């Protein structure tokens, strides 16, 4: 995806702000979130031009390549070469693996690192997909029968038994959970830089390979090569509850550390992000379907919007894809934000794999990859060599270590599995209500230049924003997507974060009912950590929202300025946003 121009949010950032951290002067989030504009030299502007400003002279303090790629891949390699040339992500350096940390909690009490490997890890071979006579079919979890549930319980029980008899067995339940902990909570390093598979285009392929081997291990443990994991069908109203088989106390599929709210057939709420709202189950289900429509259709017309940004090793600028933000993160939070304060098990990256429902949840996340491609248009797999050649490390069902490449996981059927079909009602759930009578008068709200940077987003905030072009023809729309981009989002990564974005909605918008044509999308984040030993706990992120469809639905195509409203939902101790702009990009 490349832009026709090179818009760049340029910054004056103190020299202590390095390219791989949020800087020592942010040792406490409140220093940027709460102190007000005069407390730090953090001036941000969005300049839609190709000229190098005076600000760019300070980019020795912020690696320009990391910043640009961190914006979410909108600046294609063709426009930025050689600065934007990315390399494939290599497998982790096993010798440097160390303990991960629990966000807002103690150090992990056991190592997330894999069991002892051969001294010469260069001898680890690449995995070759074995031939399959019969596809393993993954079914909706709420529809499986008792025979399947008994088989699934037996497989997990045997996996957990391995922890007792052979704690270092790579097929054991805790060792399998540690895979996620190590890749996602800072245990793995490469050349001194952290390896992280979330918040970028590594998210989908890593978890696909992860489930692939996990599923084969379970089948091996019960001597059934046809065994397939179920998928939590949360994109369908009939599946918007915790699957019943996971809520049977005393079974291997039960996890006592889940949030109690998930019990008693409670309807999942992706719209309020854990905050209870006095409303009906029908409205909750409608909100969930609207969120699915926005994330799968409206906001994901281009591959890099769906998959997430290019990954630059060691950077902590997060730019996740649409499905990773919602519903992936809200399902984690809805299920796992119980006690202790920092969240167990689904409520924190480090411990998510300790809940058997994690793999059921990610089965549906993986299914969304195929459902998205089935929508057609430009919705296709990425083709960049640095993505296709990125590598991960896993053990197979025979305890053999292997390296895998992304390019080998693009076809599920070649991997030996498929999904039982399920209706996708979200395809027809485009929001159709209007919360405002017509377009808002942009002269009545301050321009973005008067609002940004926002040092603490704790109230509804509206501003007007210039568009790069108006009255575009259909051909122009087909060629270039209009993208609303928020850059330099700063937040405390120990907190659950969410804010919503609306177009043409007044400052008092009430977001309980998401069936509003003005609703553009949301930013979310699950508690996590980036670098063991760091104590600033400040993460940097980017949010990209495709708005071409929204402009049409709200009658704003001819407008040169639009009104944007930010609605904070959960912001922890503080949430700052440095910059906002609209760009025209090709997918």
Q: Is residue 55 among the annotated active site residues? A: no
Measured CA to CA in angstroms, residue 106 lies from 138, 175, 316, 349 at distances of 37, 20, 22, 14
Q: Is 530 annotated as a binding residue?
A: no
Tokens of 183: 């890749």
Residue 249 CB neighbours (<10 A): 7
**Would you call 530 a catalytic residue per the annotation?**
no
Residues 6+ apart with CB under 8 A from 166: 172
Active site annotation includes 332: yes
Contact yes or no for 187/95 (Cβ under 8 A): no
User: Per the annotation, does 142 bind a ligand?
Assistant: no
The catalytic residue among 142, 180, 530, 537 is 180
Does an H or E element contain 308, and which?
Answer: none
* Burial of residue 439, with CB atoms counted within 10 A of its CB: 0-12 exposed, 13-18 middle, 19 or more buried: middle
CA dist., res. 372 & res. 438, Å (int): 32
Closest CA to 341 of 62, 28, 88, 105: 105
Q: State whether the Cα torsion 254-256-258-263 is positive or negative.
A: positive
Report DSSP state, residue 298.
Answer: I
- Annotate 242-292 with DSSP letters as a single string: --GGGG-TTSTT--TTS-GGG-TTPPP-TTTTT------HHHHHHHHHHHH
Strand partners, 565: 462, 502
* Pairwise CA distance, residues 121 & 262, whole Å: 43
Tokens representing 495 are 């907190």
How many residues in the chain? 587
361 labeled binding residue: no
Q: CB 375: neighbour CB atoms within 10 A?
A: 15
Question: In this structure, are residues 332 and 242 in contact, taking their beta carbons and an 8 Å threshold?
Answer: no
**Among the options 33, 42, 142, 207, which is catalytic?**
207
Give the contacts of 228 (CB within 8 A, at least 6 positions apart).
136, 137, 138, 139, 215, 417
Catalytic member of 361, 362, 528, 537: 362
Query: Does 528 show up as a binding residue in the annotation?
Result: no
* Peptide bond connecting 188 to the previous residue in cis, omega within 30 degrees of 0: no
Contact partners, residue 155, CB within 8 Å, separation at least 6: 218, 219, 221, 222, 227
Is residue 180 part of the annotated active site? The answer reads yes
Task: Kindly give, in sequence order, each residue whose CB lies less than 8 Å from that of residue 263, ignoring residues fewer than 6 positions away.
Answer: 242, 247
DSSP state of 36: -
Q: Specify whether 528 is catalytic.
A: no
As a three-state string, the secondary structure of 182-199 is HHHCCCCEECCEECCCCC
- Residue the block writes with tokens 């926005």: 294
Nearby residues of 59 by Cβ (< 8 Å), 6 or more positions away = 67
* Residue in 142, 173, 198, 463 annotated catalytic: 198
Instruction: For 563, list phi and psi in degrees, rounded to 5.
Output: -100, 130
Q: Which of 42, 213, 349, 463 is catalytic?
A: 349
Is 332 annotated in a binding site? The answer is yes
First to last CA, the chain: 4
Give the integer Cα–Cα distance in Å for 454 and 32.
10
Q: Quick one: tokens of 104?
A: 């807002």
* Known binding positions for Cu cation: 180, 198, 207, 328, 332, 362
List active site positions.
Answer: 180, 198, 207, 328, 332, 349, 362
* Known binding positions: 180, 198, 207, 328, 332, 362
């Amino acid at each position: 995806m490349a832009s026709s121009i090179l818009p760049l949010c340029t910054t004056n950032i103190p020299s202590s702000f390095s390219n791989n951290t949020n800087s020592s002067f942010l040792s406490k989030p409140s220093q940027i979130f709460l102190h007000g504009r005069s407390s730090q030299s953090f001036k941000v502007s969005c300049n839609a031009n190709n000229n190098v400003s005076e600000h760019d002279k300070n980019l020795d303090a912020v690696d320009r390549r990391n910043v640009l790629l961190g914006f979410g891949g909108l600046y294609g390699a063709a426009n930025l070469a050689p600065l934007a040339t990315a390399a494939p992500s290599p497998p982790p350096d096993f010798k440097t693996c160390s303990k991960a940390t629990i966000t807002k909690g103690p150090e992990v009490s056991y190592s997330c690192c894999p069991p002892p490997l051969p001294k010469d890890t260069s001898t680890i071979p690449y995995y070759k997909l074995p031939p399959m006579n019969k596809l393993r079919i993954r079914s909706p979890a709420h529809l499986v029968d008792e025979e399947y549930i008994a088989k699934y319980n037996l497989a997990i029980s045997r996996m957990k038994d391995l922890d007792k008899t052979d704690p270092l067995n790579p097929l054991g339940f805790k060792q399998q959970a540690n895979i996620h902990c190590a890749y996602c909570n800072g245990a793995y390093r490469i050349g001194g830089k952290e390896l992280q598979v979330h918040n970028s285009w590594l998210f989908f392929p890593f978890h696909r390979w992860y489930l692939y081997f996990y599923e084969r291990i379970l089948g091996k443990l019960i001597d059934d090569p046809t065994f397939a994991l179920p998928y939590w069908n949360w994109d369908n109203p009939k599946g918007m509850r915790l699957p019943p088989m996971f809520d049977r106390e005393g079974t291997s599929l039960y996890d006592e550390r889940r949030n109690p709210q998930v019990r008693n057939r409670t309807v999942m709420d992706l719209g309020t992000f854990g905050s209870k709202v006095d409303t009906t189950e029908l409205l909750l289900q409608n909100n969930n379907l609207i969120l699915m429509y926005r994330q799968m259709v409206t906001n994901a017309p281009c591959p890099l919007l769906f998959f997430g940004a290019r990954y630059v090793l060691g950077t902590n600028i997060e730019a996740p894809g649409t499905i990773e933000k919602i519903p992936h993160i809200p399902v984690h939070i809805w299920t796992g934000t119980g006690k202790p304060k920092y969240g167990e098990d689904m409520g924190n990256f480090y411990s998510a794999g300790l809940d058997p429902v994690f793999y059921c949840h990610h089965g549906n996340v993986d299914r969304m990859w195929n459902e998205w491609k089935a929508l057609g248009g430009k919705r296709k797999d990425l083709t960049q060599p640095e993505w296709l050649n990125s590598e991960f490390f896993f053990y197979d069902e025979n305890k053999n270590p292997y390296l895998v490449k992304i390019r080998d996981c693009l076809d599920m059927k070649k991997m030996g599995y498929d999904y039982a079909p399920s209706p996708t009602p979200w395809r027809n759930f485009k929001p159709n209500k209007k919360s405002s009578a017509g377009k808002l008068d942009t002269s009545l709200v301050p321009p973005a230049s008067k609002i940004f940077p926002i040092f603490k987003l704790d109230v509804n905030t509206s501003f007007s924003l210039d568009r790069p072009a108006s009255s575009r023809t259909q051909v122009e729309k087909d060629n270039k997507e209009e993208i609303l981009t928020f850059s330099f989002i700063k937040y405390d990564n120990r907190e659950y974060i969410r804010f919503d974005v609306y177009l043409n909605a007044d400052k008092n918008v009430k977001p309980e009912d998401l069936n509003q044509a003005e609703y553009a999308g949301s930013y979310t984040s699950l508690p996590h950590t980036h670098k063991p030993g760091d104590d600033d706990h400040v993460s940097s992120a980017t949010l990209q929202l495709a708005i071409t469809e929204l402009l049409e639905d709200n009658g704003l195509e001819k407008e040169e300025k639009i009104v944007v409203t930010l609605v904070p939902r959960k912001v922890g101790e503080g949430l700052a946003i440095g910059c906002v702009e609209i760009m025209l990009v090709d997918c």
